[in-house]
């Protein structure tokens, strides 16, 4: 059977996305199931991570599987000059699936072309983060009761934010209205605007946050990512562009939820954390159930 990879969210049909979300609901009700007996899954993280790596490893553990891997390329033979192709071909011999995060855009697609086990993209540079998108969709459906006809406001680093790029593509299946709030330097790239144009979807770009909040069903905050800037002065100029505070949520929709892929720096004030509209820590928890669903779906176990 041909390997099923998850490199871009567009690799999954709408039906498959719903299948994953339904499976995740089952795992939320019953997270400990021995479905990965005798399976070994590799987690190769060439970039730092807390949530993605640990929620995958938690998901594997709760399914009775084993994991191997590295959290720093510096402790692997990449440090000796080994290519990504050789690393993937080697690790594919040791495992049933490879979950990989890498700073180079397109690296996950390349890995999928040389691997004889499924590749799951856990983030490739500023390009895609499809497993984050699936947990975001799970969180949106769970809190809003639907994915259809929502107003979603993306805030912050829309240029380099891979979670934004994946999620906006997925939400394009559901007649979403988009508000993009960013400084000029970090606007949503043209290729994504063209993507929405082709689907005849409405989107609006803004520099100020306050006015658009009241229309939103979902406010998706993002961090200004220092590690993606080639010019440190540009980072300094933009790093404090938006700080969401508790009082700014007063006139927002009753069921509006604030999401953030995390980690946060200062773009959501900690005084928002206790607000019932703050959903980002539960969103991170949903990552375990969603990743259980992704693994078992791709391995054909569910």
Q: Which parts of 194-223 interact with ligand CP (CB under 6 A)?
A: none
State yes or no: is 87 an active-site residue: no
At its nearest, how many Å lie between ligand CP and the CB of residue 284?
7
Q: Which is nearer to ligand CP, 118 or 123 (CB)?
A: 123
Alpha carbon distance 280, 267 (integer Å): 13
Q: Which of 67, 127, 62, 81 is nearest to 101 (CA)?
A: 127
At its nearest, how many Å lie between ligand CP and the CB of residue 287?
8
At its nearest, how many Å lie between ligand CP and the CB of residue 123?
6
Element at 257 (helix H, strand E): strand 257-259
Alpha carbon distance 264, 283 (integer Å): 13
**Per the structure block, which two tokens stand in for 272?**
């928002």
Q: Binding to ligand CP by residue 49, rule CB under 6 A? A: yes
At its nearest, how many Å lie between ligand CP and the CB of residue 45?
8
Rounded CA Rg of the chain:
19
Segment near ligand CP (CB under 6 A), from 43-51, 89-97, 151-159, 245-253?
A: 43-51
Cβ(46)–Cβ(103) below 8 Å = yes
At its nearest, how many Å lie between ligand CP and the CB of residue 16?
21
Alpha carbon distance 144, 128 (integer Å): 24
State yes or no: is 52 an active-site residue: yes
Residue 49's contacts (CB-CB under 8 Å, 6 or more residues apart) are 71, 101, 122, 123
State yes or no: is 101 an active-site residue: yes
The secondary structure of residue 301, as a DSSP letter, is -
Alpha carbon distance 8, 225 (integer Å): 21
Phi and psi angles of residue 65, each rounded to the nearest 5 degrees, phi first? -95, 180
Q: Which parts of 109-168 interact with ligand CP (CB under 6 A)?
A: 123, 132
Among 261, 278, 289, 295, binds ligand CP (CB under 6 A): 261
Alpha carbon distance 59, 292 (integer Å): 5
State yes or no: is 129 an active-site residue: yes
Q: Which is nearer to ligand CP, 52 or 179 (CB)?
A: 52
Among 19, 51, 66, 109, binds ligand CP (CB under 6 A): 51
Among 3, 13, 32, 50, binds ligand CP (CB under 6 A): 50
Q: Binding to ligand CP by residue 58, rule CB under 6 A? A: no
List, by residue number, the catalytic residues.
Answer: 51-52, 80, 101, 129
By the criterion CB under 6 A, which residues form the site for ligand CP? Answer: 49-52, 123, 132, 261-263
């Amino acid at each position: 059977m041909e390997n099923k990879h998850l490199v871009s969210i567009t690799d999954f049909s709408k039906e498959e996305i719903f299948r994953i979300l339904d499976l995740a609901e089952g795992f939320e009700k019953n997270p400990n199931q021995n479905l990965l007996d005798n399976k070994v899954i590799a987690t190769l993280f060439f970039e730092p991570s807390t949530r993605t790596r640990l929620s995958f490893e938690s998901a594997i553990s709760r399914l009775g599987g084993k994991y191997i891997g590295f959290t720093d390329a510096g402790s692997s033979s990449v440090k000796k000059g080994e290519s990504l192709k050789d690393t993937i071909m080697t690790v594919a011999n040791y495992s049933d699936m490879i979950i990989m995060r890498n700073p180079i855009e397109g690296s996950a697609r390349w890995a999928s072309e040389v691997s004889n086990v499924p590749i799951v993209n856990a983030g490739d540079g500023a390009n895609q983060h499809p497993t984050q998108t699936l947990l975001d969709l799970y969180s949106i459906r769970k809190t809003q009761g639907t994915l259809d006809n929502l107003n979603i406001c993306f805030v912050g680093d829309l240029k380099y934010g891979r979670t934004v790029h994946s999620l906006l593509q997925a939400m394009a299946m559901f007649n979403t209205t988009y508000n993009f709030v960013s400084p000029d330097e970090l606007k949503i790239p043209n290729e994504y605007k063209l993507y929405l144009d082709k689907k005849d979807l409405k989107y609006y770009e803004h520099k100020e946050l306050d006015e658009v909040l009241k229309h939103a069903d979902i406010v998706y905050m993002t961090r200004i990512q220092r590690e993606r800037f080639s010019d440190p002065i540009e980072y300094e100029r933009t790093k404090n562009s938006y700080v969401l505070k508790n009082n700014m949520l007063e006139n927002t929709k009753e069921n509006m939820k604030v999401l953030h892929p995390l980690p946060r720096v200062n773009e959501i004030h900690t005084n928002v954390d206790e607000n019932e509209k703050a959903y980002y820590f539960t969103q991170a928890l949903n990552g375990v159930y969603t990743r259980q669903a992704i693994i078992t779906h791709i391995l054909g176990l569910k």
